[in-house]
Chains A and B, each alone.
Chain A
Amino acid sequence: MSASPARREDTRVGATPEAIQAHYDAGDAFFALFLDPTRTYSAALFANGADDLEAAQLAKIDWHLERAGVRAGKRLLDIGCGWGGLIERAVTTHGAAEAVGLTLSAAQARHVSASRNARLSARLEDWADHTPAAPYDAITSVGAFEHFAAAGLAREVRVAAYGRFFAKCADMLAPGGRLSLQTIAYPTGFDRAAYDATDYGVFVREHIFPESDLPTLPEILEAADDAFEPVIIRNDRRCYARTARIWRGRLRAREAEAVALVGERRVRDLDRYFRTSAGAFDIGTLQLLRLAFQKKLAFQKKRTRACP
């Protein structure tokens, strides 16, 4: 890896801004070729065998906004806001008073800032550095958790990094505030070392998600436990398989334009990633977790209680 976690402060063990930008700054035009109009680059929510990516991405956004309790007058923080599809829908459809997005990608921040809705804003900022003007009522984070731990860390280091994320979220939330999270995960018992040694493992680490590793569900729950109570847990891995196949079909249909924008290598890499990850989601080698949490009240944090 080009940038080791040690290069950063002790508390930062996730992917560096450089790694994030390498993945997401390929250009708005390139992603627009195969993503839906909201440019959501994470699994959609397909219900009842529906096959419409646009509708399924909105359904996914709505799921998170509803689970996070976003409604009229509420303030939302979206960590890893991408091209701003979720925060925009929070203010236009769900009535949020304010929606702030954080991203490490300059291209994404510029894109969101170009929208002229005063209730929307995007900041080029790490979640660890964010200082809210006032506590938020809701936090969402969709497809960012994948980058919160660098590859090659021991389990306890990973869990500690995730724990700092949850502690920070709790700090930024008003009492009773909710957090809705979506992330790709490995199944429990997944052999990371064996996977990392495969051609595909090396390929993903070098060309798709540099400096990133995936959590397992127990790691997430363990890391969240101090500050949050889980309310809903879903594994929608079939939704990601479907999403990846649709992206791949769209990318192939626009292949010549894609190659002109980012080069043949990048297009071939992404094609391979979509094909293989779809299959890995088919068989459960990858999971797609959607998790809703509620911030614990002080008495709920006590380890032992007279009355459970």
Chain B
Amino acid sequence: MSAAALKPAFSEQQIRAAIRTSLASALSVPEAILDDERDFDAYGLPSLEAVELAGELEDFLGREIDAETIFEHPSVAQLARHLAAAA
């Protein structure tokens, strides 16, 4: 997508923070209780919420995120690492 070129690159730290904010909102829990190493599955994240999470990250990063990515890298830490590396 051409928009990618206009957006600044984000650090793994920034991406991690964005994932935590979206995940907390999807699960309706305070961010502070999230464990970055814990599997999304263990939180009982429904697939539709995972799709919404992918959509929010897509908008945050300004590039297309295949929603399958959430299931292939299913924790805050794994997902942030993957998205930072793929930038």
Q: Mark B64-75, 1 if CB is under 8 A from A, else 0.
A: 101110010000
Known: A283-B68, A283-B71. A195 touches B51 (CB 8 A): no
Determine whether B47 belongs to the interface, using a CB cutoff of 8 Å to chain A.
yes
Determine whether the beta carbon of A282 is less than 8 Å from that of B55.
no
Task: Determine if A113 is an interface residue (Cβ-Cβ < 8 Å).
Answer: no
Whether A279 sits at the interface, judged by CB under 8 Å, is yes
The interface size bin for chain B is: 10 to 19
Closest to B54 in A: A279
**A245→B64 contact, CB < 8 A:** yes
B6 within 8 A of A: no
Q: Given A245-B64, A282-B68, A283-B68: A200 and B52 within 8 A (CB)?
A: yes
Residues of chain A within 8 A of B71, CB atoms compared = 283
- CB pair B66 A276 closer than 8 Å: no
How far apart are the CA atoms of A275 and B3 in the complex, in Å? Answer: 16
- Interface residues contributed by chain A, number (CB under 8 Å): 14
Please tell me if B35 contacts chain A, counting CB pairs below 8 Å: no
Question: Are the C-beta atoms of B67 and A283 separated by less than 8 Å?
Answer: yes
Which of B47, B58, B59 touches A283 (beta carbons < 8 Å)? B47
A107 within 8 A of B: no
Please give me the residue from chain B that is nearest to A285 by CB atom. Answer: B47
Q: What is the chain B residue whose CB lies nearest that of A280?
A: B51
From A201, A245, A249, A279, give the contact of B52 (CB < 8 A). Answer: A279
Asked whether A283 lies within 8 Å of B51 as measured between CB atoms, the reply is: yes
Judge whether B46 is part of the interface by a CB distance below 8 angstroms.
Answer: yes
Residue A48 CB within 8 A of the other chain: no
Measured between beta carbons, the chain A residues less than 8 angstroms from B85 are none
Complex: how many Å from CA A280 to CA B52? Answer: 9
Residues of B within 8 A of A2 (CB): none
Residues on the B chain within 8 Å of A275, using CB: 55, 58-59
CB of A285 within 8 A of CB of B58, answer no
| B52 and A276 within 8 A (CB) | yes
Residue A131 CB within 8 A of the other chain: no
Q: Write the nearest CB–CB distance from A251 to chain B, whole angstroms.
A: 14
User: Sorted from nearest, which 8 A-B pairs have the closest CB atoms?
Assistant: A279-B51, A279-B67, A282-B67, A275-B55, A283-B67, A279-B54, A282-B66, A280-B51
A200-B48, A276-B51, A276-B52 given; 4 more Cβ-contact pairs under 8 Å = A198-B48, A279-B50, A282-B67, A283-B71
Q: Which residues of A contact B (CB under 8 A)?
A: 195, 198, 200-201, 245, 249, 275-276, 278-280, 282-283, 285
